[in-house]
Structures are given as structure tokens and as C-alpha cells.
Amino acid sequence: MGISIVSICKCCAQPRQETMNHMFVTGQYAADIWKMFSAAVGVQGPFIQVNKTINKWWDTKCSSKLKPLYQADPAIILWQLWKRRNTVFHGGNMSSHRVIYDINLNLIQLAKTRYPWMTNFPNSWPQLVQHLEQYRPHIQYILVQWISPPAGWYKCNSDGASRGNPGPSASACFVRNHKREFIHATGSRISDTTCLCAEAKAMHDGIIFCITQQYLPLILETDSLGTLNFELFTDLPTTTKRLVNMDKMHLPSLRFKTVIPREPD
Ligand SMILES: [Zn+2]
């Protein structure tokens, strides 16, 4: 028959039985820590049991940016309380300031890891909550607009795409005159290839059609090839050039135009 030995806490002025709930939640020291971190975010006490305290943090409504922090916060507080308990239990000392500092540090490090693109993180939990609540992403956009070609000209817009690059691909082109009237449109699935070759294939089809039908002079407008900043076929990479194979055609009535970044007509 064994004799149960009850641990006495070292967190209260008048020591009590050191149960899990006392050590982590209801003891005066733990209660003060929970109160401090929950007051800043509106998590309502009282905190009586560990599992219910965790649930309260997890169930508190907040922005999506704060949710991971609210979920991690109880674990961080419990961990720091456990570290302090062990330090004190073995005769050491750990100030409240140090415990609060470490919890803050853990939460800020978590936010920095979770949101590496954000800057100017504050150094305390209440300010961190405010910072994330007020965060608004900086959105950039570019207006893409179809502009008519000069009178008497035609414009062919082409586009190609590859899912996987290389992977399943498709190309398409669309022709209009200077009155914005529809002339021709076509699109097709092509053999698996890269984005660049799909773009070149779309250009190729558009050019062949316009030359065959004498829709000239012509402006060919494309998009992603614009990143190559090419004006002549000779500027294209070899694989694409071979596919298009028009660099020797010397078409004086053909002009190239990129959509992004857009150039004035
Ligand atoms: Zn105690």
C-alpha cells in the first residue's frame, strides 16, 4: 500500500496543492499571466480548467491573420509557465517580467514566421494584435485595354498557355480591324510544350491566317513574350524561332506589340 505524496505549489504566498489546473490556470501566478494576455484580445474568463481555457482561445472570433496566433497562444503560455515552475521548483528564480517577455517573444516570432512579407512588427502582444487587425495588403494592378489599330490596319491578339510548363498546352488568336469589328478567332489544344512555345504557336497561327487572307498591314499583339522584350523574330530563343520560322520572311507590314507593359499605339 503506497502513500501518496502531494506536491505543494511554489507560486502562491500561501502554498496550496499543486494540481495541474492550479499550476497552469487557477494559481495566482498563472491567473495573472492569463489575465494579462486575454485582456488584450477580449478572450473572456474565468479560466478554471486547462482544456476549457484552450477552447476559449480557440473559439474566440478574430481575423484570419490572428487565428493562428490565438490557437498557439495557450500552448506558448502553458510552456512558459511550465518552464518557470520547474526553475522555481529546483531552487531557481524566474521573474514575471521574464515570463511575459518570453511569451511576447514567442508570439512575435510566430507572426514573423507565418507572415514573412510583413514588416515593422511591434514588441508586445496587444500591439501585435492591433498591427495584424489593421493590416491591409497592398494590391497592385495594371489596366489592360484593347486599343484599335490605326485606320486601315488589322490587329491580331494571340495567347498561349501551358499547364505545367511543359505540360498540356493550348493556343488561340483573335483578329479585328480598326473599327473593332470581328474578323477571325481560333483556338486549339496543341501538343504538350512550354508556355513560350505555346505563345509562339499562337502567334504563328495568327500571322499565317492574316497573311493568307491579306489582312495587312497587321499588328500582332501578344502578352507573355513581351517579357523577352523582342521586336524581331531573330530576338526569339532558338526553339521558339524554329517553331515560328518566319525570321526570313521580311514582312515590312508586320509590327509586334506587347500588352504588358503596355506601349502607346
Ligand atoms: Zn500556487
What CATH number has the domain bearing residue 174?
3.30.420.10
Measure 108 CA to ligand 1 centroid, in angstroms. Answer: 29
Residue 265 pLDDT > 50: no
Q: What is the pLDDT of residue 14?
A: 83
Virtual CA dihedral for 204, 206, 207, 213, nearest 10 degrees? 140
Residue 3 in domain? no
Regarding whether 251 and 160 lie in a shared domain, the answer is: yes
Residue 11 in domain? no
Measure 37 CA to ligand 1 centroid, in angstroms. Answer: 19
Measure 31 CA to ligand 1 centroid, in angstroms. Answer: 10
- Whether 219 and 176 have beta carbons less than 8 Å apart is answered as no
Higher pLDDT, 246 or 215: 215
Regarding whether 127 and 26 lie in a shared domain, the answer is: yes
Measure 45 CA to ligand 1 centroid, in angstroms. Answer: 19
Between CA 216 and CA 44 the distance in angstroms is 73
Measure 99 CA to ligand 1 centroid, in angstroms. Answer: 16
Regarding whether 167 and 128 lie in a shared domain, the answer is: no
Residue 138 in domain? no
Residue 92 in domain? yes
Within 13 Å, how many C-alpha atoms sit on residue 15's CB side?
A: 8
Measure 13 CA to ligand 1 centroid, in angstroms. Answer: 7
Regarding whether 180 and 121 lie in a shared domain, the answer is: no
Measure 28 CA to ligand 1 centroid, in angstroms. Answer: 6
> What's the chain's average pLDDT?
83
Per-residue confidence band for 227, with pLDDT thresholds at 50, 70 and 90: very low
Regarding whether 127 and 29 lie in a shared domain, the answer is: yes
Q: What is the pLDDT of residue 196?
A: 78
Per-residue confidence band for 226, with pLDDT thresholds at 50, 70 and 90: very low
The percentage of the chain sitting over the pLDDT mark of 90, rounded to a whole number, equals 40
Measure 101 CA to ligand 1 centroid, in angstroms. Answer: 21
Residue 247 pLDDT > 60: no
Q: How many domains does the chain have?
A: 2
Measure 43 CA to ligand 1 centroid, in angstroms. Answer: 23
Q: Mean pLDDT throughout 146-175?
A: 88
Q: What is the pLDDT of residue 104?
A: 95
Regarding whether 106 and 183 lie in a shared domain, the answer is: no
Residue 111 in domain? yes
At residue 161, the 3 state secondary structure works out as strand
Measure 77 CA to ligand 1 centroid, in angstroms. Answer: 16
Residue 147 in domain? no
**Rg for the chain, CA atoms, rounded:** 33
Regarding whether 159 and 129 lie in a shared domain, the answer is: no
Higher pLDDT, 166 or 30: 30
Regarding whether 176 and 117 lie in a shared domain, the answer is: no
Residue 114 in domain? yes
- Whether 110 and 228 have beta carbons less than 8 Å apart is answered as no
125: its cell numbers: 502582444
Q: How many residues belong to the chain? A: 265
Measure 73 CA to ligand 1 centroid, in angstroms. Answer: 22
pTM for the structure as a whole: 0.56
Regarding whether 159 and 122 lie in a shared domain, the answer is: no
Which domain, by its residues, includes 204? 154-258
Regarding whether 55 and 98 lie in a shared domain, the answer is: yes
Higher pLDDT, 141 or 96: 96
Residue 158 in domain? yes
Measure 85 CA to ligand 1 centroid, in angstroms. Answer: 10
Name the residue among 51, 20, 85 with its Cα closest to residue 6.
Answer: 20
Listed residues 133, 165, 199: the one ending a domain: 133
Per-residue confidence band for 262, with pLDDT thresholds at 50, 70 and 90: very low
Measure 75 CA to ligand 1 centroid, in angstroms. Answer: 20
Measure 244 CA to ligand 1 centroid, in angstroms. Answer: 80
Measure 12 CA to ligand 1 centroid, in angstroms. Answer: 4
